[in-house]
Amino acid sequence: MENKNLKNEYKNVLNVGLPFLVILVILFIYFENKLEKCYRISICRVIGFESDFEGGSSPLFAYEYNSVMYKNGGAGDMSNINQLNSRYFIKVSCGNPKIVKIIRDVHVPDTLKFIPTNGWVEIPYGLDNVSMK
C-alpha cells in the first residue's frame, strides 16, 4: 500500500512539475530569441548584492536606457561577478529594456564615459576584440 502511495505522489509531482518546467523553458527560449532579434548595447554597473536561494549572493546592477534608469539582477551567467561598481557591456532588448544579457568577456575601459541614450548598435570602438582574459 505504501509503495502505491509513493507512486501516486511521484505522478502528482510530475503532473504539476513537468508542465511548469516546460513553460519555463518556452519562456526562456522566447525571451532569448526576442533579445537576439533586436538589441542595443549599453553599460551596466554592479550596485550591490542580494541573497539567492542557494545561500550565496547574486549581483544587482543598474543601467540607463532611453533616459530611464533600470535596476536588475540575473542577466545570464552571473558567476564571478563579485566586485561592486564593476562595469559590463549588456545587450538591451529594443522592445523591452528590462530584458538584458551581460556580455562578460569584453572589458569596459574606465576611459569610456559617454553612453548614447539608446545605446550602441554594436560594442563601440572595436572593443569587442578586447577580452577580459
| pLDDT greater than 50 at residue 132 | no
Q: Which residues contact 52 (CB under 8 A, 6 or more apart)?
A: 58
Rounded Cα–Cα distance for residues 74 and 106 (Å): 18
pLDDT tens per residue across span 76-129 = 556 667 788 899 999 999 888 988 888 888 889 989 989 999 999 998 877 766
Domain definitions of the chain by residue range: 1-37, 39-133
Per residue, what are the HEC states of 57-112? Answer: EEEEEEEEECCEEEEEECCCCCCCCCCCCCEEEEEEECCCCCCEEEECCECCCCCC
pLDDT of the residue at 51: 75
Q: Is 49 helix (H, G, I), strand (E, B) or coil?
A: strand
pLDDT tens per residue across span 57-82 = 778 899 999 999 999 876 555 666 77
Q: Is 27 helix (H, G, I), strand (E, B) or coil?
A: helix
pLDDT of the residue at 65: 94
pLDDT of the residue at 133: 45
pLDDT of the residue at 71: 93
pLDDT of the residue at 70: 95
pLDDT of the residue at 41: 94
Rounded Cα–Cα distance for residues 100 and 32 (Å): 9
pLDDT tens per residue across span 12-70 = 666 776 676 767 666 666 666 666 778 999 999 999 888 766 666 778 899 999 999 99
